[in-house]
Chain A
């Protein structure tokens, strides 16, 4: 691992930590946003019908790649696997778990006779978490997917567009009060634009940085 003082997240220049500190009381606000950087993001490719591939993934990260479209396997804040396409998934780990997962996946998937790809994308994206009673409305301003809870509930995911930015998106388990929480994973170069746009779209509902 590189010394943490050398790391700079894609949204570090917005000084979100300082704002979160100032806006510590988030009760009553419509929307809460924060950046969760450095999560392990490992892109894997392979044939889900090939048990050797599925076993290898299972062995590496203790989860099977989901075969249902637009879903995520695993619980929020643990290692998860997001469906990206018929032969493509994103393994999401904690920042601390990224290196270990990458090594384990490479070791298990890049073996003779198995055609699979493992690519580290940890640095390529960041995570913007948006939650609160009005979070869905904010997203619907820029996203043409139907995010109604009956359609896009916890554990659902999608690769789609939010205000001109391609994102991987998932809804994590709804909070106890029923408010939804979404995670957006844009490419890091787009993160500033997306954050600023979301912040603007949240204005009318009251926004705080979490």
Chain B
């Protein structure tokens, strides 16, 4: 196909660079500087898709971000991305786009049959139809989703990468149109750090689409001068092709920058998009305005566009959207489109103006140029389905709520309508800025805000070029002066040379036909979601008085374009139907994002290996080479178990368990939290945070402690050692370490600032090697000469300093397995070296590395709890049967008072018990619910759950720990665990299965 609609000259495209692309599989060509939309129009393609509900044929309406219809699926396979706006995609070589929401093609769409049933698809159709029976939704949903989807999600991982950048600026200017450029220039002249952001690939904003002059030269020459001036300033950052999508608390902005413009995806070594997280001292919103359509019958036919878009295509892209154009307007500005079309040699069949005797300067120019102006008239119908073929025009009555006389048909293929312009107040609203209604021209303009922010130019409702330049210049100076910055030499305020006086708009929200709304064609408000005037009126009749409810009921403004063109007319129609004013109705709340943001960009580089930090112990590489499987504990990665070739998990864990029980095993215990405690009140501090007594722990000794929350529930546990006078080392659980540290600091800093205690985390200072098993002493003795390992010299629950393998070490004799056990702490950098040496020397003792799973089995055999497994924030030490560790003599400790609350003192709370399955081979599922008696089917009274459950290789039967209501009162009872396909009977037993006397602790 050739570029049938390309003008012979003009436009900002580079005609020396032809670009080939595909649309719906068809090869076409355009030029560098085109968007996909302008290239399609150049190729004579107006029909680009189908609507969401009725599958009506739809064409390109706009030339910008407000586009409701021209959504395309871009690229295929891993690079595919749905719902891209053809009006915003810069053309690049090989671009491959296809229409969404139509099959097999937009010209012949199977689902268009829906439009025949429009009478049964009114507002709220889905709510009304598919609510009953409730279970039916599952069936309906499948078909509705298939019929209604806009675009397709990729089915393979994205090949592109995305990243983020943090930035700070004194002044952020959003929008690089005349006002934004003037603002940025004025602010930069004061020495402020300025960031200028614009969604388009070139600076200039609306100036790109116009034939204006500034400072006596073409406006785009002025833009180029300002750009080079700003580029030369090292404190100015210009981000093009970057959308400010959200404006958040405390002057925080989210921007999304396209970094791969004009390059096919996946072919650039940079990230494709970047999210900028910007903190601004001052924000200037120069976001411009969006033209609003006139709402006339069948205004969705391909070829029905916005008036401003027509001249954007002519002036910027050198494309004539159609062969015969009609302008339909309520204002003078749209005459610019007529004049620009005419000047470019395009045919303008007529201007239809709803005003009586329009008399502005632009109108005069149009008449002088030989353009027919039809005043006080309305378009009452559009001919053609897949492309406009003509329009019907009738005179308006005096109230403009009906038409009179006879209709005249005008042949045309393109209509550009203009109902005025809406300031883009979205960002202002994101940050809770108020909007106020300006009745004279029917627009919401920005009002008060809490942010350090100002709006200028069209975004502020100041639509003339001179106003935009003046306000921008002032906003820039004002923002800087708030920061105490002024320019030594103030640049002159730019002057607009092409301003003309414009006469007022005539606001008519609904363009009447000879029949009531909905009976003669459809008046579309929201083209993407197929919401019509009749739908909004129906919602009002059905009692939807709140604009927020009406929005959700009709889905007005809920599509990807968020109603940028149709919202205000929609709210006006609702207000009229409710018999109230527009400010009384109000607007829906604008929320981020302003325009769609890719999920990939929001994730940035936090994907795959960067998703979350992985914490490695010094022995990580050894474990990896030994082929361990990993368990994530907090952010730590710990060896779970080390399977030999072909070994199942159960086999590996049983082998590791037996090695510890019968020989010796070694565990990497580096991850245990360690807190160094110094100060004269350290013992008193421990006495307050632990449940047991701490004032008399001697240097060299260790003690187990249990920490409660103030609510009396178990929070953490660990062993604390007295290292010297006023000096202790506390250990915490691996996962709880940061939380415990923060909690202890809170008590010290807030409740007990009088206590002289300093806490410092030393978790990572040491590598910790835990040796456990009857051969542990013999093995360790090969590595140390200066530590007496004799039971009397080095008893259980004590520590000694010395050297192990020539490395300064502190060895603790503590045990979580019930076996003779040493925890060797060495400088972290030496951990791997010592681990390797001990493994080598331990061969003759049958040493076996073991992981967290084996540790869990061994401690469960001993009935030792794991915080977070046997406890869940609702379990007291009494529930656990650990009253032995709760001091009754101490007057107070954290959580003490709560233990005597009525609820915590109840005798029938859940208690920790052991479970023995009737079938010793049966291993209960952890989390399994426990019932006292079985019934043929649920519900059954649940009295508790299984907290830990393992196969015990040492005992030759399964073991389980459980929390059971009044468990200690049920010793010997049989209870049941329904597992889905069967019910397992078990006996309630003591929660200690192995060596209850503790005879193995000394080896």
Contact = CB atoms under 8 A, between A and B. Distances in A.
Contacts of B829: 2, 6-10, 37-38, 123
Interface of A: 2-3, 5-10, 13, 37-38, 43, 45, 87, 115-125, 137, 140-146, 148, 151, 163-165, 187-190, 192-194, 196-197, 200-201, 203-204
Interface stretch (B313-321, B475-483, B612-620): B612-620
Contacts of A87: 758
B618 A119 contact: no
Contact of B615 (A3, A122, A189): A189
Contacts of A187: 615, 763-764
B661 to A, nearest CB: 31
Contacts of B159: none
B833 A164 contact: no
Given A8-B832, A141-B164, 19 more contacts: A2-B829, A2-B830, A8-B618, A8-B831, A10-B829, A13-B621, A43-B760, A119-B676, A119-B762, A122-B765, A124-B761, A141-B166, A148-B193, A188-B764, A189-B615, A193-B614, A193-B615, A194-B613, A204-B270
B613 A124 contact: no
A200 B765 contact: no
Contacts of B618: 8, 10, 188
B62 interface: no
Nearest to A165: B613
Interface of B: 163-168, 193, 269-271, 277, 279, 605-606, 609-610, 612-618, 620-621, 636, 676, 678-680, 756, 758, 760-766, 806-808, 827-834
Nearest to B621: A13
Contact of A143 (B166, B636, B764): B166
Nearest to A8: B832
21 contacts: A2-B829, A5-B833, A6-B829, A8-B618, A8-B833, A10-B829, A45-B678, A87-B758, A115-B680, A118-B678, A120-B762, A121-B760, A123-B765, A124-B828, A141-B166, A144-B279, A148-B168, A164-B606, A164-B613, A188-B764, A190-B615
A121 B610 contact: no
Given A141-B164, A197-B605, A2 B758 contact: no
B163 A201 contact: yes
Contact of B807 (A6, A165, A204): A6
Contacts of A163: 605-606, 610
Contact of A196 (B270, B606, B609, B834): B609
The A interface, classified by DSSP as helix, strand, loop or mixed, is: mixed
Contacts of B163: 141, 201
Nearest to B763: A124
Contacts of B270: 204
B483 to A, nearest CB: 13
Given A2-B806, A9-B829, A192-B616, A120 B679 contact: no
Contacts of A118: 678
Nearest to B679: A115
Contacts of B766: 123
Nearest to A186: B613
Nearest to A143: B166
Contact of A201 (B269, B605, B609): B605
A120 B827 CA distance: 10
Contacts of A137: 165
Contacts of A117: 676, 678-679, 758, 760
A203 B269 contact: yes
A58 B807 CA distance: 31
B981 to A, nearest CB: 43
Contacts of B613: 164-165, 190, 193-194
B166 A144 contact: yes
A7 B830 contact: yes
B168 A146 contact: yes
